[in-house]
Structure 1
Amino acid sequence: MRGKLIEFRNVSFRYTEELPWVLKDCSFEIYENEEVAIIGHNGSGKSTVAKLMNGLLFPEEGAIFINGQQVTQESIWEIRKDVGMVFQNPDNQFVGTTVQDDVAFGMENRGIPRAEMVKRIDDTLSAVGMLDYLMTEPHKLSGGQKQRVAIASVLAIFPQVLILDEATAMLDPKGRTEIMETITSVQEKHQLSLITITHDLQEVVRAERVIVMNEGEIWDEATPREIFAKRAELRKIGLDVPFIANLSDALLKAGVSITNEPLNQRELLEDLWISHSRM
């Protein structure tokens, strides 16, 4: 049984007293080595949730716990040892003049011995396929390469949870696929919890659980299959559904029998084959 890693207890937040609440009485839990996608339309509060997890913001009401420790001004530096975050624009995270320097930065701040730093730099850059760029200046890298380095920089501090806040939004489909494959490989190797805040439906489908945000509240949380079965309701709150779900609807309307809720092309083909075999 997996232990509880992150807990939001009745969390509410607004940026100023004059502005409306961005989050309203939000409660949920995330467990060790779990992959969770957080989705919602723009302004739904999902990116605010990410910043609250990492102590970039603090709740106005309610409480947040990481590994049983409440996130406060006093505990935040300890909390950030367990929580790593990769943003949409990796340029905002670069501080080193070379890839090596950038990956080393977080470890230097934590006083990690040099020999251990060298090992972690090699290990994390190898994990994301960027070891050959050790002495390259970050601004000379492509968008996908920059994101790989940003991920390596976070992984080098050995966090227990990795948060991707729209981290693949600026990449083309091939780049998004490569980054998510890299992250999945790293997650399995290091037993990380992974929280993906995204609009990319393919990233959502691969998660174990989905938390849907709407107007600052938790609209629903369930498996991807259960969430995308509510296609009409999702569309009403401004969210899209995977192409395969739309295709399944069209096939059902055309009289084709589909027994499950397929999430990808393979599942749809298997469903159609089984249905056809029974005829």
Structure 2
Amino acid sequence: MRSGLVEFRNVSFRYGENEHWVLNDCSFTIYENEAVAIIGHNGSGKSTIAKLMNGLLFPQKGEIIVNGKQINAETVWNVRQDVGMVFQNPDNQFVGTTVQDDVAFGMENRGIPRDDMLKRIDNTLTSVDMQRYRLTEPHKLSGGQKQRVAIAGVLAVYPNVLIMDEATAMLDPKGRKEIMRTVTDVRQNRHLSLITITHDLREVVEAERVIVMNEGKVWDESTPRGIFAKKTELRSIGLDIPFVAVLSDELRKAGVPITHEALNQDELLEELWISRLTM
């Protein structure tokens, strides 16, 4: 059984004393080496959760535990060694004049010896397929390449948790697919916990578990299949449904005997093939 790595214990947060609670008595656990997607409509608290995990914000109520440490002003720098975050716009994370300088920045702040830094730069740039751009200025890269460098910079400090906060939102479909393939490969090799905060349903179905936020609370959590089986309920809180799931419902209404909830095209084709054999 996997141990809890990130715990939110009755966490509440608001941005001002007279503002509404963005998070309201929110509790959940992220486990070691787990891939979790956090979804919800705009304003449901998703990005606030990411900032709280990384100590960019502190809760007004409740506790947040990361790798056994409660996040507060005294522990925040230690916590940030465990939690790495990649934002929507990679330009906001660049500080170096070249790709290798940017990857080195976080390590320099942590006092990592130069020889170790050089090895980590090599390893992380290779893992995200950006080694050949090592001496390139970041602003000359494409959007997908910039995001790969941002991921490399986070991975270089060896976090236990990688948060992707709408990190593929500015990319085209091909770029999104490539970045998520890279992140999946790195997660499996490094045994990281991956937290994906996204509106992209294709990313959601790749997660092991989905946490659905609504009005600052955990509305539900389950496997992607379990969550997307609740189509009517999801629509009632303003969330979309994968097209394949909608198509499956329409086929059932037309009399096609589809018995399992398909999450992607391959699963739907399998269901159609089985139904054809049994008809």
Shorter-chain TM range is: over 0.9
Deviations 1:123-158 (A, max 9, x none): 000000100001111011110000000000000000
**Which letter maps to 1:259?**
T
Identity across the alignment (%): 74
**Which letter maps to 1:238?**
G
Match of 1:120 in 2: 120
The 2-side partners of 1:211 and 1:70 are apart by 22
**Which letter maps to 1:140?**
K
1:230 aligns with 2:230: yes
Match of 1:205 in 2: 205
The 2-side partners of 1:136 and 1:235 are apart by 45
- SS of corresponding position for 2:81: coil
- SS of corresponding position for 1:17: coil
Deviations 1:80-100 (A, max 9, x none): 000000000000000101000
Displacement of 1:249 after TM fit?
A: 1.1
Match of 2:137 in 1: 137
The 1-side partners of 2:121 and 2:185 are apart by 17
Match of 1:255 in 2: 255
Instruction: Please show how residues 175-190 of structure 1 align to structure 2 within 5 Å.
Output: 175-190=175-190
Structure 1 stretches of 4+ with a deviation exceeding 3 A read none
Match of 1:192 in 2: 192
The 2-side partners of 1:58 and 1:22 are apart by 13
The 2-side partners of 1:24 and 1:160 are apart by 26
**Which letter maps to 1:127?**
S
Instruction: Please show how residues 47-62 of structure 1 align to structure 2 within 5 Å.
Output: 47-62=47-62
The 2-side partners of 1:207 and 1:21 are apart by 28
The 1-side partners of 2:44 and 2:26 are apart by 12
Displacement of 1:3 after TM fit?
A: 1.2
Match of 2:169 in 1: 169
Match of 2:14 in 1: 14
Match of 2:220 in 1: 220
Displacement of 1:273 after TM fit?
A: 1.2
The 2-side partners of 1:253 and 1:97 are apart by 58
The 1-side partners of 2:251 and 2:235 are apart by 19
The 1-side partners of 2:150 and 2:3 are apart by 27
Match of 1:78 in 2: 78
- SS of corresponding position for 2:15: coil
Instruction: Please show how residues 93-108 of structure 1 align to structure 2 within 5 Å.
Output: 93-108=93-108
Unmatched 5+ residue regions in structure 2? none
**Which letter maps to 2:71?**
V
The 1-side partners of 2:19 and 2:120 are apart by 44
The 1-side partners of 2:67 and 2:179 are apart by 27
Match of 1:68 in 2: 68
The 1-side partners of 2:3 and 2:21 are apart by 31
Match of 1:272 in 2: 272
- SS of corresponding position for 1:80: helix
The 2-side partners of 1:82 and 1:239 are apart by 31
The 2-side partners of 1:66 and 1:217 are apart by 20
Deviations 1:176-202 (A, max 9, x none): 000000000000110000000000000
Give TM-score scaled by structure 2 length: 0.99
- SS of corresponding position for 1:18: coil
The 2-side partners of 1:159 and 1:84 are apart by 6
Q: What is the number of equivalent residue pairs in this alignment?
A: 279
- SS of corresponding position for 1:206: coil
The 2-side partners of 1:134 and 1:68 are apart by 36
Unmatched 5+ residue regions in structure 1? none
Deviations 1:30-53 (A, max 9, x none): 000000000001101000000000
Displacement of 1:276 after TM fit?
A: 1.7
Displacement of 1:250 after TM fit?
A: 0.9
